[in-house]
Amino acid sequence: MVPGAWVRALTRVAIIAAMAGELKPLVRGWPHERRNGVDVWRWKSDGGEWVAACAGAGVDAATRAFAEIERDGAFDQVISIGWAGALGEEFKTGKAYWVAGAIDARTGERFRTQAWEDESVDSHPIDKNKDVARVGHPDLFQSLVGHPDLSQSLVGHPDDCWLVTSARVADRQEKRRLAATYRAGIGVGLVDMEAAGVARLAQMRGIAFYCIKGVSDGVRDQLPDFNRFISANGRFQLARFVLFVLLRPWYWLGLMRMGENSRKAAQAMRESLLENLDGRGAITRRNGYPNLKR
């Protein structure tokens, strides 16, 4: 959960993802363009601008996306958004989680999100029917404990969820290794390929960093090795992957589940972003944001 303090004076917000599918529910209806290999969506209003971009998987691709939208001017805050793998059973597929911090698995660097560092929290009840779990801020977590509608939303979810950024897509074996390495310390619960890189860029510029991740695959899921289908520039080679999978039916059921989980997670991320920025951020109901009602 992101405290209200971080959205009161926004004028320009950058949203960095890896894949277009991660942004699809959020940017539906936004003007789109492709520049220098980066997909960019933007929505402007009297209150400011949101700019979303993706260039592929990995820190290098996220850096290109960051640089491309920065060409149009500086922004106030950056949000890393996208799918992640779970490192523990308590992180449920199809749900979205605000992250307290990101660790770069290659360098060991740790980056806290602004949500963790803010002292004040504007809390409000969680809808137990939404696939959004608020974790990452201890004061907020304590303020919500005992709410009659929250038992299903908060059970099993720690209040200090961290994420580790890996250079590769983590398969089941790699998830076990990462869990053994990090979960006993600060409670790392998710793995992705971009967040720590985006956090580093934000830190270098002195702007606030936030992170929300939707769980596409669980800690025990058996899936193909996606790394062999990611090109050098971070793009997923779909045609090669489809041909590979067609000849291996034992992956079909797991991939169908992952597809449905990814769809739910993308929708959950959208809903949580709009909820936290509504009425205070660059895009609001009052200034004509187009996608609040389906």
Summarised one tens digit per residue, pLDDT across range 74-112 is 999 999 999 999 999 889 999 999 999 999 999 999 999
pTM of the model: 0.77
Identify the three-state secondary structure at position 70.
helix
Give 7's DSSP letter.
Answer: G
CA 268 – CA 98 distance, rounded (Å): 11
Q: Average pLDDT of 241-254?
A: 90
Q: Average pLDDT of 193-209?
A: 96
Report pLDDT for 232.
86
Report pLDDT for 285.
31
CA 120 – CA 131 distance, rounded (Å): 25
Q: Average pLDDT of 221-236?
A: 85
Give 230's DSSP letter.
Answer: B
Question: Over the chain, what is the mean pLDDT?
Answer: 78
The pLDDT-based confidence of 153 (bands split at 50, 70, 90) is very low
Report how far Cα 220 is from the mean position of its chain's Cα atoms. Answer: 21
Q: Where are the beta strands (DSSP E) in the chain?
A: 12-17, 32-35, 38-45, 48-54, 77-86, 96-98, 101-104, 110-112, 132-133, 162-165, 188-192, 208-217
User: To 10 degrees, what angle do helices 252-277 and 20-27 make?
Assistant: 40
Identify the three-state secondary structure at position 116.
helix
Pick the closest to residue 142 from 161, 123, 127 (CA basis): 123
Report pLDDT for 294.
29
CA 200 – CA 63 distance, rounded (Å): 10
Tens-place pLDDT, residues 159-186: 458 999 999 999 999 999 999 988 766 6
Domains of the chain: 4-277 (3.40.50.1580)
Of 213 and 187, the structure prediction assigns the larger pLDDT to 213
CA distances from 32 to 20, 43, 51, 108, 229 (A): 11, 9, 10, 36, 26
Give 267's DSSP letter.
Answer: H
Among 32-46, 70-84, 134-148, whose mean pLDDT is lowest?
Answer: 134-148
Pick the closest to residue 272 from 214, 197, 217 (CA basis): 214
Number of C-beta neighbours around residue 67 at 10 A: 14
In this model, does residue 125 exceed pLDDT 70? no
Among 120-129, 146-155, 183-192, whose mean pLDDT is lowest?
Answer: 146-155
In this model, does residue 238 exceed pLDDT 50? yes
